[in-house]
């Protein structure tokens, strides 16, 4: 019993398909304790575990956010599409920013003519990766934002709602289409600078 991966949500679905799954299934006791002490047994009931298409009673991330109409579903799809695009943009934008800051550092350290060559080399290498520098702090903030968005997208996908999943996938595709073109240009620029 030490190896049952069971979130409260997973437990429910396992219970539903109890008859079909005869693999290493725990007995019903962990499921009952999960619902009893978790205090959220009621909301777990809505958890879908297979893909479906529908726009009724779709709960999205936050307590008040329940989709119940076609318009609501369309709005949610648009927002999630944009969020997925933003995620792709953030990924590529961070890469650009990193490259740019490294190029800047290289230029900054260039005009410093050290009395001996070794000194110059060392400043060259360390300045770019200082922990308490503005570019790195910005990078960290963007990284946190990226992690939050990626988990949100994951949780949206985990609603198993077909429309929302398609919105996530299309958003990722569109984001890559829009932003990766810029990435290629930036790569080109840095290569010219070399």
Task: List residues binding another protein (CB under 8 A).
Answer: 1-11, 26, 30, 33-34, 37-40, 43-44, 46-47, 59-63, 65, 125-126, 128-131, 136-137, 139-141, 143-144, 147-148, 151, 154-155, 158-159
**Nearer to another protein (CB atom), residue 29 or residue 116:** 29
**How far apart are alpha carbons 168 and 79 in whole angstroms?**
10
Task: Give the C-alpha separation, 134 to 148, whole Å.
Answer: 21
The torsion region of residue 57 among left (phi > 0), alpha (psi -120 to 50) and beta comes to left
Report the nearest approach of another protein to the CB of residue 73 (Å). Answer: 17
CA 53 – CA 163 distance, rounded (Å): 6
Report the nearest approach of another protein to the CB of residue 50 (Å).
15
Write down the least CB distance from residue 136 to another protein, Å.
6
Residue among 61 and 193 whose Cβ is closer to another protein: 61
CB of 158 to another protein, least distance (A): 6
- Rounded to the nearest 10°, the torsion over CA 138, 139, 141, 145 is 140
- Extended strands (E) in 16-141: 58-59, 66-67
Q: Could you give the CA distance from residue 160 to residue 157 in angstroms, rounded to a whole number?
A: 6
Choice between 39 and 117, CB closer to another protein: 39
Pick the closer one to another protein by CB: 6 or 181. 6
Question: What minimum distance in Å lies between the beta carbon of 163 and another protein?
Answer: 16
Q: Which is nearer to another protein, 4 or 108 (CB)?
A: 4
The secondary element (H helix, E strand) that includes residue 25 is: none
Secondary element (H or E) of residue 172: helix 162-193
């Amino acid at each position: 019993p030490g190896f049952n991966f069971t979130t409260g949500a997973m437990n429910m679905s396992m219970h539903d398909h109890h008859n079909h799954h005869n693999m290493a299934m725990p007995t019903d006791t962990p499921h009952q304790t999960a619902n009893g002490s978790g205090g959220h047994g009621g909301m777990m009931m809505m958890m879908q575990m297979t893909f479906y298409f529908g726009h009724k009673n779709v709960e999205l991330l936050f307590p008040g956010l329940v989709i119940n109409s076609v318009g609501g579903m369309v709005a949610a799809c648009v927002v999630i599409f944009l969020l997925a695009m933003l995620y792709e943009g953030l990924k590529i934008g961070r890469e650009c920013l990193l490259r740019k800051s490294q190029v800047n550092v290289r230029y900054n350290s260039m005009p410093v003519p050290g009395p001996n060559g070794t000194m110059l080399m060392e400043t060259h290498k360390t300045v770019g990766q200082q922990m308490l520098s503005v570019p790195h702090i910005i990078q960290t903030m963007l990284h946190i934002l990226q992690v939050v968005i990626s988990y949100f997208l994951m949780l949206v996908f985990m609603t198993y709602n077909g429309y929302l999943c398609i919105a996530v996938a299309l958003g990722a595709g569109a984001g890559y289409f829009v932003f990766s073109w810029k990435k290629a240009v930036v790569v080109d620029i840095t290569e010219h600078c070399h």
